[in-house]
Amino acid sequence: MIYDVVVIGGGPSGLMASIAAGESGANVLLIDKGNKLGRKLAISGGGRCNVTNRLPIDELIKHIPGNGRFLYSAFSVFNNEDIISYFEGLGIKLKEEDHGRMFPVSNKAQSVVDALISELHRLRVTIRTNTAVKRVNYENNTVKEVVLQNGEAIQTKSVVIAVGGKSVPHTGSTGDGYQWAKDAGHKITELYPTEVPITSSEHFIKTKTLQGLSLRNVGLSVLNKKGKPVITHQMDMIFTHFGISGPAALRCSQYVVKELKKQKSNTVQMSLDLFPSQNEEDIFQQLVRTTKEEPKKAIKNVLKGFVSERYLLFLLEQAGIDSQALAGQLQHEKLREFARLCKRFEFAVNGTLSLEKAFVTGGGVSVKEIHPKEMSSKFMQGLYFCGEILDIHGYTGGYNITSALVTGRLAGSNAGEFATSLA
């Protein structure tokens, strides 16, 4: 049997591509090497599934630092508001949370996965799980067949490669698709981890002085060679036994990777600002006033509640202040140094956890070789790409799933139209 469209990969982009191809009237086969579809979707958003983000398009694209601008054409066809309408049409009511993040009212990612799978059944898409693909064969600059690991060859008019990147490999994303893209003449840009915890060998990290300490709404920056911020993210973060994690650290991670490379160095400096909305002088004056009010108390007691206790003791030590010193006896220079550290505590980081531990893969199939409105290959007729295999990556917060669903929708509908036009 010859299929009009074979979609390889049952993640968010593959599910959406299969549905879109099915809607075009194409005869569709969805292949996934895992035992169930939508595994990455089922664990996204902490198991609640952050299906998209409601920010305006320009803002949305700013949150996709890896080639987000490539998606302008795609968003003109199908965008985040269309995703919301689409899911509500499937009976999945959504709610908006902080920073525009959209979740199912049920708070269950599985409900999203189930709705997509029942749509596949309604459209009579053939599904084969536990089926690994070995390669895609091409002939005369056109897709010819998909060859499975067991040697079976499946004839098809078009193929959508939706197998993800190399991050979160337990969901099946192990980078298989890069070779199939290369076989079609595509360039794979360098792969690197993004949205991943950052590692450090600083003494205070190795001694676990701050391990488990969370800081709310701080400014975290990656610094260039001259000590100027390359990027700053104002969010929460946490110190770990190997470095730093939490939303601010995850968002800074790709810039750490890039700066290490750019500086040809083993370490890069980062800076932590406890009070992004205040300047150093204001903090200093506040410290002077507070110490004058209670001069006979130990400084650690006077500043209780100024910052969290563990970080307070740590910063006092960094500033060379004895935590038991009487507040009224502290020199202004010491208070100035403490204020400076509140605004700019610098520390060295030496990389990130591995690509396999990252939430998102940076790099992939070069978008210069893809038609932006169709997600089709510029080199091979009937070949389409979508989702994380493309060199597109966003921050966490619904941006990557938005990209996956939008590129999946376009790849599937165009693959379906292409295949049925050959009939």
Q: Quick one: tokens of 245?
A: 């994690």
Q: Note whether 50 and 22 are within 8 A (CB).
A: no
**pLDDT computed for residue 308 by the predictor:** 93
- pLDDT tens across 55-64, in order? 999 999 999 9
What SS3 string covers the chain?
Answer: CCEEEEEECCCHHHHHHHHHHHHCCCCEEEECCCCCCCHHHHHHHHHCCCCEECCCHHHHHHCCCECHHHHHHHHHHCCHHHHHHHHHHCCCCEEECHHHEEEECCCCHHHHHHHHHHHHHHCCCEEECCCCEEEEEEECCEEEEEEECCCCEEEEEEEEECCCCCCCHHHCCCCCHHHHHHHCCCCECCCEEECCCEECCCHHHHCCCCCCCEEEEEEEEEECCCCCEEEEEEEEEEECCCEEECHHHHHHHHHHHHHHHHHCCCCEEEEEECCCCCCHHHHHHHHHHHHHHCCCCEHHHHCECCECHHHHHHHHHHCCCCCCCEHHHCCHHHHHHHHHHHHCEEEEECEECCHHHCCEEECCECHHHEECCCCEECCCECEEECHHHECCECCCCCHHHHHHHHHHHHHHHHHHHHHHHCC
Q: Is-above-0.85 flag for pTM?
A: yes
CATH architecture of 3-192+356-421: 3-Layer(bba) Sandwich (3.50)
Sequential pLDDT tens for the chain (423 residues): 899 999 999 999 999 999 999 999 999 999 999 999 999 898 888 899 999 999 999 999 999 999 999 999 999 999 999 999 999 999 999 999 988 999 999 999 999 999 999 999 999 999 999 999 999 999 999 999 999 999 999 999 999 999 988 887 777 888 899 999 999 999 999 999 999 999 999 999 999 999 999 999 999 999 999 999 999 999 999 999 999 999 999 999 999 999 999 999 999 999 999 999 999 999 999 999 999 999 999 999 999 999 999 999 999 999 999 999 999 999 999 999 999 999 999 999 999 999 999 989 999 999 999 999 999 999 999 999 999 999 999 998 999 999 999 999 999 999 999 999 986
In angstroms, rounded to a whole number, what is the distance separating the alpha carbons of residues 29 and 125?
6
Number of Cβ within 10 Å of residue 66's Cβ equals: 24
The C-alpha angle with vertex 406 and arms to 76 and 16, in degrees rounded to 5, equals 140
Nearest to 65 by CA among 245, 213, 253, 221: 253
- The position carrying tokens 């979707």 is 41
In angstroms, rounded to a whole number, what is the distance separating the alpha carbons of residues 170 and 164?
12
**pLDDT computed for residue 168 by the predictor:** 79
Q: Note whether 165 and 360 are within 8 A (CB).
A: yes
Number of Cβ within 10 Å of residue 185's Cβ equals: 14
In angstroms, rounded to a whole number, what is the distance separating the alpha carbons of residues 145 and 137?
5
Domain ranges of the chain: 3-192+356-421, 197-353
**pLDDT computed for residue 423 by the predictor:** 66
